[in-house]
Structure 1
Amino acid sequence: MSLVLFAHSVFALPFAVIGFFLAIQTTDQPFEWQKLLLMLLCMVTARNAAMAFNRYLDRDIDAINPRTAMRDIPAGKISANRALAFTIVNCLIFMAATYFINSLCFYLSPIALFVVLFYSYTKRFTPLCHLVLGVGLGLAPIGAYLVVTNAFHIIPVFYGLAVMCWSGGFDIIYAMQDEEFDRENGLNSIPAYFGGKRALRISELLHVASFIFVLLPIFYMPVSWFYYIGVIFYGMLLIYQHRIVSPTDLSRVDRAFMTTNGIASVIFALFYLLDIIFLV
């Protein structure tokens, strides 16, 4: 749990739930507990694999960074080989779960794993690493929709883009803590490349885009006032995290990163589900 920061699953998981019930709401597909549980298993194992691999690959970097030196591998709590084995086991469980969902999910599973694992390499050669992370998390609502329908649709893509911009934006804020360390050690990040002030502006633009993407579905499906309330809460929490962080004061980054973003995704998903119930 500590190695993969299991509590952080709350970021993309609510959007996967949205993608799943969106498919049921907008098609004639029935609700099936088996598919829901398999989808949740895929979410957990893919994220476990991504986080464990990130910790495995970054173990030497983490060891020399004072902020991350106490992570499980550099601190000696878990060996690098066991972290890698944990990654492989989770990848195999993920692919096995997709096999029991449908053929499209199974055929796409190696691509999904490549995206979420490849992120760990990107800060070695591009400051766009935050967006690669966003793409990985943004697959959640799209993949969950595929679980039910075995077909693509534009609405889950909107939610995927919303997650991409949202998570990429808050990852930039989180990376501001390591701006000097990254620059000194040849690592790439938007804060290290552009500086903290400009990085925060880029994060703001990404969050504006995320807000727009959660609005776009209203032009493609009927919604009730519950949906609009969820969108308003989502936007307010995005604004709030930018109000409590500045380039000269990073003391509340953890609150912006974990608490605010976790609440934002959960509240938006809850109002989305209320919207479905109200419409029914």
Structure 2
Amino acid sequence: MDARPIVRRIRERARALINASSSVMLSIRISGVILSMVRKILRFIKVEHTAFSLPLLLTGAWMGAGYTLPQSEILLAIALAAIGARTFGMSFNRIFDRRIDAQNPRTAGRELPSGAMSVRLALGIALGGLLLYLSACVFLGAWCLALSPLPLIPLMGYSFLKRYTALCHFGIGLCLALAPLGAYVAAAGQPYFSVQVLLFSSFVFFWLSGADIIYALLDLESDRRNGIHSLPAALGAAGAQTVAAAVHLTALLILGLLLYTRESRPFALAAFAATAVLFVMMYLPFIPVPKRFFPIATLAGVAGAITPLLM
């Protein structure tokens, strides 16, 4: 019996198996590269911080819709606009600050100063965020599209403030304070703001500005050494925390005034009390500064955003 046909078939099957295995391995490698790139981009834009800004948007949209939830597609478009805008702003902030970050031991490991990401890729991420933001604004209507350039100015400009003024922390507060106003316009279809949403936006401004002062305590020595302006660098840790406490007290007073403008239910008062407790926790010296900013300061903002929803 001639065994050659059998051997030939075995060889063909083995070759096919090897080819299939090579294709599977190549697919696994490609998937690994893509997954690694996605992780790198998510770390670069700090996606977890974006998620915690969503309650601020929800509150603004709820007020704009007449103290009720807007349609789900409106909420989705608002969320996409926020993600796009924050991606745009964060990307340019990291691009502009890459040399400053390289001089600071805390930030030297970030993607751009460490060389883990190219400036070209960071610009591509910024462009993608901008396109997402503008596309969402187109969907949300003429007013949102007409007003869409306004948030981009502070988003691009706030990273320059630390080069010139110790009041730079209020620049990032302004950026986030615009978010509930934008959500209000998206839900209401017009920019005639109510007293309540203006108060809420003011709360956001003072909350985040104060939180950023606390966060800047991490870089006090590096900022002084490299000539970067911040309140901790200018006033020292104690002086900066005194200013931050005054800013946060202002935020709480504004939130209390917002409660006063409408009949407040017990759940709203409980959320307000939780906000106050979290604000106090930002100043407890036995809590490490990174924890005071995230998650404590972040949760304070979330609790403050929930407060009007429960009125």
| Structure possessing the higher relative contact order (Cα contacts under 8 Å, 6 or more residues apart) | 1
| TM-superposition CA deviations, 1:120-164 (whole Å, max 9, x none) | 111111111100100001111111111111232221111111111
Compared CA separation, residues 260 and 179, structure 1 to 2 (3 A): same
Structure 2 CA distance, aligned partners of 1:99 and 1:223? 36
On the 8 A contact 1:18/1:272 being kept in 2, the answer is yes
**Residue type matched to 2:90 in 1?**
M
- Partner-residue secondary structure (3-state), 2:282: helix
Contact kept? 1:226, 1:272, Cα under 8 Å:
no
Match in the other structure for 1:90: 129
Q: Which amino acid aligns with 1:237?
A: L
Equivalents in 2 of 1:154, 1:267: separation in Å?
20
Give the match for residue 236 of structure 2.
195
Structure 2 residue 139 is matched with structure 1 residue 100: yes
Among 219, 233, 237, the alignment partner of 2:260 is 219
Deviation at 1:30, TM superposition (A): 7.1
CA distance in 1, matches of 2:166, 2:299: 27
Residues 129-278 of structure 1 mapped to structure 2, 5 A cutoff = 129-149=168-188, 150-151=190-191, 152-244=193-285, 252-273=288-309, 275=310
Q: Considering only CA atoms, is the larger Rg found in Structure 1 or Structure 2?
A: 2
Q: Indicate conservation of the 8 Å contact 1:10/1:262, yes or no.
A: no
Question: 1:11, CA displacement in angstroms?
Answer: 4.2
TM-score normalised to the size of structure 1?
A: 0.90
Moved more, 96-105 or 39-48: 96-105
Q: Which residue of 2 aligns with 1:248?
A: none
Aligned residues of 2:82 and 2:179 also touching (Cα < 8 A): yes
Question: Secondary structure at the residue paired with 2:140?
Answer: coil
- Deviations along 1:16-45, one digit per CA (max 9) or x if unpaired, are 11111122344xx87311111110001111
- Structure 2 gaps of 5+ residues are 1-41
Deviation string, structure 1 residues 102-126 (Cα, Å, up to 9, x no partner): 2221111111111111111111111
Separation of aligned partners in 1, 2:288 and 2:69: 44
Equivalence for 2:22 = none
Q: Equivalent of 1:57, from 88, 91, 96?
A: 96
Contact 2:91 2:122 in 1 (8 A): yes
Contact 1:227 1:271 in 2 (8 A): yes
Shift of 1:272: 4.2
Question: In structure 2, which of residues 142, 145, 152 is the aligned counterpart of residue 113 of structure 1?
Answer: 152
CA RMSD of aligned residues (A): 1.7
Instruction: Tell me how far apart the structure 2 counterparts of residues 44 and 185 of structure 1 sit (CA, whole Å).
Output: 32
Offset of 1:255 from its aligned partner?
0.7
| Cα 1:161–1:268 shift into 2, 3 Å | closer
Q: Unaligned stretches of 5+ in structure 1?
A: 246-250
Q: 1:111 to 1:271 in 2, by over 3 A?
A: closer
Q: Does 1:39 align with 2:78?
A: yes
Distance in 1 between residues matched to 2:135 and 2:179, nearest whole Å: 17
* Preserved contact between residue 54 and residue 117 of structure 1 (Cα < 8 Å): yes
After the TM superposition, which segments of 4 or more aligned residues of structure 1 sit over 6 Å from their partners?
none
**Corresponding residue to 2:161 among 100, 109, 122:** 122
Give the CA deviation at 1:100.
1.4
Q: Distance in 2 between matches of 1:190 and 1:85?
A: 33
Bigger shift: residues 119-128 or 211-220? 211-220
Secondary structure of the 2:283 match is: helix
Q: Which amino acid aligns with 1:52?
A: S
- Post-superposition offset of 1:267: 3.4
Contact 1:131 1:164 in 2 (8 A): yes
Letter in 2 for 1:50: G
Residue correspondences, number: 268
Would the aligned equivalents of 1:12 and 1:163 in 2 still touch at CA under 8 Å? no
